[in-house]
Structure 1
Amino acid sequence: MLGVVINTKVSLHSAQSVHVEQELSLRIGGTFERGRGPAFPVLNPATEQTIAEVQSADLEQVERAVAAARAGLDRKEMGSAEERSAALTRLADVIESHADEILAVSVNEVGTPVSTARNLHVDTPLRALRWLAQGTLTDRTEYLGRDDGPPASNSKVIYRPVGVVAGIAAYNYPLLFAVIKVGAAFAAGCPSVLLSSPNAPLGILNFGRFVEEAGWPASSVSVLAGGVDVAQHLIKQPDVAKVTFTGSVPAGKAVMATAAGGLRDVVLELGGKSAAIVLPSADAASVVGPIHSRYLRNAGQGCASPTRILVHESALETFLQHSRDYFSSVAVGDPWDTQTLVGPVISERHRQTVQGYIDSAVADGGVVLARGHKPAGPGWWVQPTLLGGLGNDARVNQEEIFGPVATVMTYSTVEEAVAIANDSTFGLHATVWGPLEEAMDVAYRLDVGQVSINGGGAKRPDAPNGGWKNSGIGREFGEAGIREFLEAVHIQWPVP
């Protein structure tokens, strides 16, 4: 295993530093080797400095990773449910012991401010792993009982692992995606080949080291780095039984099209354009901070970000005045400053994309209602921006921007607010603010996979996550997330 020690805590405060053992090798069937494909740099989005250089996998390494997974499955190396549960617990313990390293890598390769990074990049994956360790032990056998026929019979349904899983992660929450893809597949008894985003490979490569340290079976997880060519070749492998992907709608369609060539099933989480409905009976001033901080964290690079804010027309001025005050004080800048909420976006290319949405909205007649500041110097910064003056059919209200940008629209009746919220090609998440009983009534009418009332709560590892329409196919987290990697088998026999 070829680990290197690099100073990943490249901070705008030069006095801060920490050394991290960063894995730069791929893990293929339990062995570590450098990629043989093209090299690419990993850049710190706050400083634009190179953190490391990673060699991507070549196509032969992809094939060998899948072959190792299939061979291990045939040799029954995944072990019993009890053994897999213990392995998941060990992995959680290993990750917890490396929490500071994970935090450093996440802040520096993703740009997530340290004020939220520990919860988003360490604690949430840990909760998911520890829940999966228990979920692995669930007996899912269904006893159907007697059927009189004729002829009379009895039946039960058992659940078997689907086979080799190809997991493809996005850049915004690398370790979490590794856990909910590899971890859930492992809980079901499936080996995985995990591919990182080229924008954030370091946390995923370290995941391969953590799996090794936790003593997982050699064939249970291979970890690769690479771009679209590697992903497409991985999906096409005949021994891949299922593909789980997190990313954009266009990329998800490409994944699904490739998988369809081999009639492979998919789990796709493809983002959202979540509505935040502020009910007429809500205190518009008090919800300003919770709503804006929810989509500004991680620089707006979150699929469930509530970026379409629906405010009753009578409360608009109150909401906007408090929003202007909020934006004028929100901390944007050094991710290692504990006061910072908004860090940089992942790359210069993405910065240009997000800024392009803002510019086109203004060109189309939109108005900047509130705007935060942008740090001077290097870094891929986008000023936190609140837009208004456009209808729900506007591009900025229909497409996922994936940056620190939101829009405000007004409504006159709750029925109109629900109609606007549902008028979207996405259906991942929504938030509702107001008295619980009223908000609950609205929640039942929203075409989304999850509704958070008055801020909801922590990310629950036992609750399904997924969406309607273009937000994806299938579910992650919870029992539903494990069942994605299981096939039902009906067993029937005659009885007197």
Structure 2
Amino acid sequence: MTTLTSINPTNGEVVREVPAATAAEIAAVLQRAEQAFHAWRDTTFAERAQVLNAVAAHLRENTDTYAPLMTEEMGKPITEAHGEVAKAAWAAEHYAEHAEQYLADEHIASDATSSYVQHLPLGPVLGILPWNAPFWLAFRFCAPALMAGNTCVMKHDPHVPGCAAAIQDAFKAVGAPDGIFQTLHAATEDVESVIRAPEIRAVSFTGSDRAGSQVAAAAAGEIKPAVLELGGSDPCIVLADADLARAAQVTALSRIINAGQSCIAAKRVIVERSVHDEFVDLLAGHLRDLKVGDPNEEDTKVGPIARGELRENLHRQVVDSVAAGATCVLGGELPEGDGYFYPVTLLTDVQPGMTACTEETFGPVAVVLAADSAEEALAIANDTPYGLGASVWTTTERGEAMARRIEAGQVSVNGIVKTDPRLPSGGIKRSGYGRELGPHGIREFVNAQQVWVGPVKQ
């Protein structure tokens, strides 16, 4: 029998082992989701909101229980983990308040006496989620889906089974209707059959582009809608007229949140050459000040990489880039001792085509490229198969004009790229398709049903 194993990345010790669901257990979860849907779809928005608000309140009241699970299973610094629980609660509260407005009937004039579009639920939705933000990504998936009247089956990453179980327990703790939200501890090899199961009507996937293509193929094979939020090689453009001090401060933060293990972190910092050296000095100063260490300590800013093989791959990317001519200003050496720690690293003299530019770097590695002009910076920014997030630091007017030319699903002008329940996020190119969050996100998994009411207008 397959076992889902959680290893504490701070010390390398096994903290949790959970048997993967059997075929019979998978079938039972899917059946419960289908049965629950028939009642849940007929509830009012107010009734659904009552459940989501209760879950949100429970999360906030028990953050001291939930946050340490993330620190234990994937190494998130404890202060960030507390923030993530609060953000997950916010997602639930946001959709509880705004879902009815987002899904209001849309009246459209035609030859009918009345014609409109109404937004109806589809059925059980499968969420396939990664380890790097276990609570936030769960609620980014389930809050809009549930408020739209769907039921949710969450197949979380096998390395965070404790977090996955705790999220389901939060729904049970507030007396949510049985079956509207379930955690499925399925083995990776069983996921395709779950996607193809007739009970599942749609799929939400967050993860790598390689795995995303497999999920997309399986969903398409069954003619089921899917939303994919995949990897990124997010550019951060810093032009000569930027507020360099602020840009350096925010770029450092964007690069090291969650030890740099974020799809929307600033991955390639593209700096106009005339201010390159000044900016690099400022950025290096911020990065040097960051404490790397035990994520249980509140002053730790950078915890461990989640798993040993991920750290090895990150180090390979750094070594390959240095071998190709990049300069390692900070870090770049594997540390001794327990755990999967990696030093905050700064690479300069990076050129397009180097490993650090062509692959997604998932760790606290800042990569700086120089550009002779804004036009060249834009060309470098778009020279990637990915298109998730991007940022540009310049004057407001110029930044907004450049945003139209940046190939990414979201662009921040003079600010950090982040996810916000109020605003849609998602990617283009190999970063995926569809949108999550905001009014756009809740409309991904509904039937936009056209209703024509006669007689024909005379």
TM-score category of the 2 structures, normalised to the smaller one: over 0.9
CA gap of 1:115–1:208, structure 2 versus 1, over 3 A, is closer
Counterparts of 1:155 and 1:174 in 2: how far apart (Å)?
Answer: 42
Instruction: Name the counterpart of 2:13.
Output: 49
Aligned residues of 1:175 and 1:203 also touching (Cα < 8 A): yes
Q: Distance in 1 between matches of 2:374 and 2:128?
A: 39
Relative to structure 2, which stretch is displaced further, 385-394 or 170-179?
385-394
Match in the other structure for 2:88: 125
Q: What's the CA shift string for 1:225-251, capped at 9, x where partnerless?
A: 233113222112112110001000000
SS in 1 for 2:109: strand
- Whether 1:303 and 2:260 are equivalent positions in the alignment is no
- The RMSD of aligned alpha carbons is 1.9
Q: Cα–Cα, structure 1 residues 286 and 135, in superposed 2: closer, same or farther, change >3 Å? A: closer
> CA shift at 1:488, angstroms?
1.1
Query: How far does residue 62 in structure 1 lie from its aligned partner after superposition?
Result: 1.4
Aligned to 1:266: 226
Between the aligned partners of 1:362 and 1:103, the Cα distance in structure 2 is 37
1:249 is matched with 209
Moved more, 484-493 or 453-462: 453-462
Give yes or no for the alignment of 1:343 onto 2:306: no
Q: TM-score scaled to structure 1, two decimals?
A: 0.88
Decide which structure has greater helix share.
2
Matched residue SS, 1:126: helix
Q: Percent identity?
A: 31
Which residue, 379, 388, 395 being the options, matches 1:435? 395
- Pair 1:280–1:236, CA change in 2 (3 A): same
Matched, 1:328 2:288: yes
Amino acid at match of 1:167: G
Write the letter of the residue equivalent to 2:116: K
2:176 paired residue number: 216
Normalising by structure 2, report the TM-score: 0.94
**Local SS of the residue matching 1:240:** coil
**Counterpart check, 1:113 vs 2:77:** yes
Mean alpha-carbon deviation: is it higher for 431-440 or for 481-490? 431-440
1:196 correspondence with 2:156? yes
Instruction: Structure 1: give runs of 5+ residues left out of the alignment.
Output: 1-36
Q: Does 1:480 align with 2:444?
A: no
Per-residue deviation at 1:272?
0.9
**Counterparts of 1:36-435 in structure 2 under 5 Å?**
37-76=1-40, 79-119=43-83, 121-138=84-101, 139-147=103-111, 154-371=114-331, 376-435=336-395
Q: 1:73: how far off? A: 2.0
Local SS of the residue matching 1:465: coil
Q: Give the superposition deviation at 1:182.
A: 1.6
Q: Check conservation: 2:328, 2:348, Cα contact below 8 A.
A: yes
Seen in structure 2, the aligned counterparts of structure 1 residues 456 and 195 have a Cα distance that, compared at 3 Å, is same
Q: Could you tell me how far apart the structure 1 residues matched to 2:336 and 2:247 are?
A: 30
Aligned counterparts of 2:417 and 2:41: Cα–Cα separation in 1: 38
Query: What SS class does the counterpart of residue 204 from structure 2 fall into?
Result: strand
Q: CA deviation at 1:392?
A: 1.8
Distance 2:396 2:227 in 1: 33
Counterpart CA distance in 1 for 2:373 and 2:22 is 57
Kindly indicate whether the alpha-carbon contact (under 8 Å) linking 2:41 and 2:149 is maintained by their aligned counterparts in 1. no
Number of residue pairs the alignment of both structures matches:
455
Mean CA deviation greater in 80-89 or 322-331: 322-331
| Deviation (angstroms), 1:165 | 0.4
More displaced stretch, 226-235 vs 90-99: 226-235
Distance in 2 between the 1:454 and 1:78 partners? 44
Deviates more, 1:130-139 or 1:450-459: 450-459
State the distance in 1 between where 2:446 and 2:187 align.
28
CA contact (8 A) 1:448 1:467 kept: yes
Q: In 1, are the aligned partners of 2:256 and 2:364 still within 8 Å (CA)?
A: yes
2:29 and 2:105 map into 1 onto residues whose CA distance is: 31
Shift of 1:455: 2.0
Do 2:40 and 2:149's aligned partners in 1 also have CA atoms closer than 8 Å? no
AA aligned opposite 1:483: R
Q: Unaligned regions of 5+ residues in structure 2, if any?
A: none
Q: Greater shift after overlay, 412-421 or 430-439?
A: 430-439
SS in 1 for 2:223: coil
Contact 1:59 1:233 in 2 (8 A): no
State the alpha-carbon separation in 2 of the partners of residues 423 and 457 from structure 1. 19
The amino acid across from 2:295 in the alignment is P
Q: Any idea what SS the aligned residue of 2:100 has?
A: coil
Cα deviation, residue 86, structure 1: 0.8
One-letter amino acid of the counterpart of residue 7, structure 2:
L
